[in-house]
Structure 1
Amino acid sequence: MARIGIIGSSGRMGHALMQALDESRHDPAGGTDRGEDPAALADRSDALVDFSAPQALEANLHAAIGAGIPIVIGTTGLEESHHAAIDRAAQAVPVLQTGNTSLGVTLLAHLVYEAASRLGPDWDIEIVEMHHRMKVDAPSGTALLLGHAAAKGRGIDLDANSERGRDGHTGTRAEGAIGFAALRGGTVAGEHAVILAGERERITLTHSAEDRAIFAHGALKAAEWLIGKSAGRYTMQQVLGL
C-alpha cells in the first residue's frame, strides 16, 4: 500500500481522486487545496498527485522535493515557465507531467504518433475536442498532447505548425499543419478525435471519457509506478510500457 496525497482535493478531479483512493488498495494520505501548505501533506505521503492550478505548481514541486517523493502533475494550462520548473524539479525527484492521465488516451497518443509517422504531409491532421462548459483552457491539455504526438511523428515543431481559431477569409490550409478545434458545452467529461484526411480517404481515431474516474485511476497507477524510481521526468507511455 502506498500513501498518496492529493493536491487540489476540493476540485472536480480532486473529488474523483479521493473517491478512487477510497476504492483502491492504497492508503489516502489526505488532501490539500488553495491557501494550504502542500509541504505538510508531502511529509506524510509516499507520492503526490497534483490537479490544482498552474499558479500553485512551483510550491507543489518544492513540497515534493522537500519530502523527497515523486509527484504526478495533471494540471493543464501550463506555460513554458512551468515546464522549466518541472525540468528543474525532475533533477531531484521523479516527476510525471501529462495533459491526460487516462490509460486509453495514452494508447491513443501512441497510435496518433504511429499514424503520423507513416503517413506523409499530404494527409491533413485535425484535432477536435469537446469539454464541459466550465473548462477554462483551450485547446485542452489532451488535445495538445495528441498534437505533440502527431508533430513528433512528423518530425516537426507543433507550435510552428499548428492552426487554431480559424475565422473569416483564412486562405487555404497550410501543408503539414495540425489544426485544432475546441467545443464547450454541457457536462461533457472529454471527447477527442484526431482526423487524418488524405486524398479520397480518411482515418479518425477517437476517445470518449464517460467519467472522470478514468483519469483518477490512471493518475493513481502513475503515482504507484513512480514510487522507487530515480529522479527524472517520466511519461504515461512509460507507465504502460510503450
Structure 2
Amino acid sequence: MIDVVVTGAAGRMGTTLVRCLQGAEGLRLAAGVERPGQARFEDAGELAGLGRLGVPVKDSLAAALDGLARPVVIDFTSHEASAAHAELCAARGAGLVIGSTGFTPETKARVQAAAARIPVVLSPNMSVGVNAVFALVREAARILGDGYDVEVLEMHHNRKKDAPSGTALRLAEVAAEALSRDPRQDLVYARHGLVGERTKREIGVQTLRGGDVVGEHTVFFVGEGERIEISHRATSRDQFARGAVRAAAWVAGRPPGLYDMFDVLGLRSGR
C-alpha cells in the first residue's frame, strides 16, 4: 500500500480528495495537513463529512511525513506553499502530485529543482477529460494550421485568485506549440480600446469570473465561413480529485523527474 498525505485537507479540494481516496486500490490515506487553526476537526474523515477514519490532521507536512516510508503527497494549495512542499518532499524522498496553479518563474524553478531528486507530477488540471481536450486541441491545431484564428475562453467561480486559469494557459500553450508559435510573444490576455486588427499569430486568452462555476474552458478555431469549438465543462471537483489519485498511484516508485498528466495517461507519444 502507498501512503498518501493530502495537504490543505480542510479545503474544497482537500475534502474531495479525502473522499475519493476511500477505497482507492493500492492507496492508503495516511494523514492530512492544514495550517494551525484552519481545521475544525483532528480527523481527516470528519473534515470530509465521512465520520472518524482514524486519519490524523497535522499542522505541518513535516509532521505528517514522520514515520512514513516512500509516501506520496497530493498538494492543491498555492504556488508558494507547493514550492515549499516540493523542497520538503525532496528532502524526505516523497513523491509529489501538484494541482496548484498561478506559478511564478521563481516558484516553478523551485519545483523543477525538487524534481531532480524526486518524481513530481505537476499539472494545471488533473481531470482526465481536460487532458483529453489538451490532446484534441494539439491535433486540431496541427490539422487546421495557420488559416484559423485561435482564441481561448475560460470561466471560474468568483473566489478564484489567479487569472487566466492554469488550464487556459496550458490550452493556449498547446495550440502555440502545435503551430510553432512563442507563448511569450503570441499570447494576448486582454483587448481594450483601439488595439488594431488581430494579428495572424496571436492567440487570445480571455477570462470570466462569477458565481460558483467549477470550471469551463473553450478553444475556438475560427476560419473563413466556419468555426470549430472544443469545450470542457466541469460540474464538480470530483474529476480533478480522481485524476490526482490516479497520478498518485502512477508516480509512486518512478525515477526523479518533472511529469504531467500526459505522462500519467500515456499521451506523451505523438506529441
The interval holding the TM-score normalised by the smaller chain is over 0.9
Structure 1 unaligned segments of length 5 or more: list them. Answer: none
Alignment correspondent of 1:101: 126
Give the distance between the partners of 1:183 and 1:58, measured in 2 at CA. 27
Aligned to 2:64: 41
**In structure 2, distance between residues paired with 1:155 and 1:235:** 21
Alpha-carbon deviations, 1:23-58, whole Å to 9, x = none? 533211111123532122234362011111122123
SS at match of 1:77: coil
Aligned to 2:21: 21
Give the whole-Å Cα distance in 2 for the aligned partners of 1:200 and 1:218: 38
Match of 2:179 in 1: 154
State yes or no: 1:216 paired with 2:241.
yes
3-state DSSP of counterpart to 2:147: coil
For 1:119, what is the secondary structure of its paired residue?
A: helix
User: Are 2:162 and 1:137 equivalent residues in the alignment?
Assistant: yes
> 2:181 aligns to what SS in structure 1?
coil
Q: What's 1:229 paired with?
A: 254
Whether 1:77 aligns to 2:81 is: no
Q: Secondary structure at the match of 2:102?
A: coil
Identify which of structures 1 and 2 has the higher relative contact order when contacts are C-alpha pairs closer than 8 Å and 6+ apart.
Answer: 1
Alignment of 1:106-185 (within 5 A): 106-185=131-210
Contact in 1 for aligned 2:87/2:110 (Cα 8 Å): no
| TM-score (normalised: structure 2) | 0.86
CA distance in 2, matches of 1:200, 1:150: 21
Secondary structure, counterpart of 1:155 in structure 2: coil
Aligned to 2:54: none
Root-mean-square deviation over aligned CA pairs? 1.3
Match of 2:264 in 1: 239
Assess if the C-alpha contact under 8 Å between 1:39 and 1:66 holds in 2: no
> Alignment partner of 2:120: what SS?
strand
Counterpart of 1:12?
12
Contact between 2:73 and 2:95, CA under 8 Å: does it hold in 1? yes
CA distance in 2 between counterparts of 1:2 and 1:107 reads: 27
1:184-215 Cα shifts (integer Å, max 9, x gaps):
11111111100000111111001111110000
Unaligned segments of structure 2, at least 5 residues: 37-58
CA distance in 2, matches of 1:61, 1:40: 15
1:9–1:18 contact (8 Å) kept in structure 2: yes
C-alpha contact (below 8 Å) 1:71/1:95 kept by paired residues: yes
For 1:29 and 1:10, the matched residues in 2 are separated by 15
Distance in 2, Cα, partners of 1:215 & 1:111: 19
Q: Which residue of 2 aligns with 1:187?
A: 212
Residue 53 (structure 2) pairs with residue 53 (structure 1): no
Q: Partners in 2 of 1:33 and 1:158 — Cα distance?
A: 36
Q: What residue is the counterpart of 1:91 in the other structure?
A: 116
Structure number, greater radius of gyration: 2
Note the alpha carbon deviations across 1:64-107, whole angstroms, 9 max, x for none: 11221210111111111111111111110001111100000011
The amino acid that maps onto 2:123 is T
TM-score by length of 1: 0.95
| 1:2 corresponds to | 2
Report how far residue 119 of structure 1 moved: 1.9
1:128–1:182 Cα contact (<8 Å) kept: yes
Q: Does 1:32 align with 2:57?
A: no
Deviates more, 1:23-32 or 1:207-216: 23-32
Greater CA drift, 110-119 or 196-205? 110-119
Identity %: 40
